[in-house]
Amino acid sequence: MTASTYVNDDRQNHLFQVNREVFTSQEILEKEKQEIFSKAWIYVGHESEIPNKGDFQTRDVAGRPVIFNRDRHGEVRVMLNSCLHRGASLCRHSSGNAKIFTCFYHGWAYRNSGELVNVPGNEDYKAEPAKVYEGLKGPAKVESYRGLYFVNFDEDAESLEDYLGEAKYFIDLVADQSPEGIAILEGTHKYSIKANWKLLVENSVDGYHAKSVHHTYFEMMMDLGATPPMLGEEIVNGVAPSGMGTEFPNGHATLMYPANGLPLATESVKETLAGMRRTAEERFGESYATAMFGLSRNSVFFPSFIVIDLSFGLTLRTMYPISPSETIVTGWQIIPKGVDEEFIKYRVDNALTFWGPAGLATPDDVEALEQAQKAFSTQAEIGWSDISKGMGKQMPAANDELQMRAWWREWNKRMTGEALPSEGKSFVPFQKQTTDA
């Protein structure tokens, strides 16, 4: 495949297509690892997961094992989880608290700030290892925004804040939901799907599939007397009931739609959410609070960081390819600090029953994506996937495909160097009037 045949962006005929070979080619996957995952900002974790000195989480980030920790000085670090001696994983626990990381293979030991402090049989080395090896290696850059930590393995990468750009607004809408901040709930959803990673990126900001793939959930909402998303009547902060899609530079994009209903919520849960909204109105003004609590949002931050913020739950999701046809997915739930146990339980229940690997939504999505991957064996006869819905509209709806096109244009730029112009559909509902964040 030549570089020019990845994406067909035909503005004159309002046609956008992606060559299906990008979902099946090992050669393309290897180039993605080099040009995307080694050069874009990749999410690692949130500061609430390592609140104390010595706390750590081990993660796989952009195909590399890392230790995400708070060192003995209280600084947040990201270090490659590989002993400098012979390469074994240095820390084999998923989380914990440690002052020293000791490699189980030959016993080399490192402080939680990275320095090599002990080598068994050190006297047998002509050159002292602690002087030869300065300490554990890390990514070229580690930066944070609103408590979310990202890494970049490219020394020449722009700053995280510049990279996020105007799309930071949709992180702010999460981080501002409580004056005390936000926290990741303990527990992780980690599972694999037999489909290309880019299919799940598309699906995460795809409003078009909701009514057909998730019809069971829509039926449940209606049985409970709630109005399903994109079926309401109220315009919220300029966003119609059908919702809208919006794009930003660097491949970030969002779909948003009026937040309808709190399925199975108790009166206490509803009052907690109403109280959060009143507090936000006092801090930031009514319009920003309405954007925060009156709109649901699915956002993608290129390449693979997803923030899904609905009235009944808030999830972070990342994905990384194992092969062209298999992807590892990791998800966490966020909670605004200061809420009571009943509200937390409500959010946890929804995390399990909606987003969980055995919930209402995820198995539907996995089945759809795996069926698509399976059918890509027909690419010799059906070579292109269509992502044209809403192209040419003055205001694309949430169930149009602007979000995916914005993401694909950035993917194409990084893979080929060809910069395709945006559709000029950037939009944020309302800014804060004041802030004490």
pLDDT confidence of residue 133: 87
pLDDT confidence of residue 225: 65
pLDDT confidence of residue 231: 58
Given the structure tokens 């981080």, which residue do they identify? Answer: 175
Single-letter code of the amino acid located at 387:
I
Class of the domain covering 43-144: mainly beta
pLDDT tier for residue 437 given thresholds of 50, 70 and 90: very low
d(CA 299, CA 118): 45
Q: Between the CA atoms of 194, 197, 202 and 207, what dihedral angle is there, to the nearest 10 degrees? A: 40
Q: For residue range 263-279, what is the model confidence (pLDDT) as tens digits? A: 778 999 999 999 999 99
pLDDT tier for residue 420 given thresholds of 50, 70 and 90: very high
Domain boundaries, the chain: 43-144, 166-416
pLDDT confidence of residue 265: 87
SS3 (DSSP) at 53 = coil
Single-letter code of the amino acid located at 143:
E
Rounded to an integer, the average pLDDT of 62-91 is 97
Please determine, for residue 252, whether its predicted confidence score (pLDDT) is greater than 60. yes
Please determine, for residue 433, whether its predicted confidence score (pLDDT) is greater than 90. no
Which has the minimum average pLDDT: 81-85, 97-101, 364-368, 402-406?
364-368
CA 362 to chain CA mean position, Å: 15
Q: For residue range 364-409, what is the model confidence (pLDDT) as tens digits? A: 999 999 999 999 999 999 999 999 999 999 989 999 999 999 999 9
d(CA 105, CA 90): 9
Please determine, for residue 3, whether its predicted confidence score (pLDDT) is greater than 60. no
Q: For residue range 170-227, what is the model confidence (pLDDT) as tens digits? A: 999 999 999 999 999 999 999 999 999 999 999 999 987 877 777 677 666 666 666 6
Rounded to an integer, the average pLDDT of 223-237 is 64
**CATH numeric code, 166-416:** 3.90.380.10
pLDDT confidence of residue 215: 67
Which has the minimum average pLDDT: 37-41, 45-49, 327-331, 426-430?
426-430
Q: To the nearest whole percent, how much of the chain has pLDDT over 90?
A: 78
Q: For residue range 146-179, what is the model confidence (pLDDT) as tens digits? A: 999 999 999 999 999 999 999 999 999 999 999 9
Two tokens, residue 360: 């209402």
Please determine, for residue 125, whether its predicted confidence score (pLDDT) is greater than 80. yes
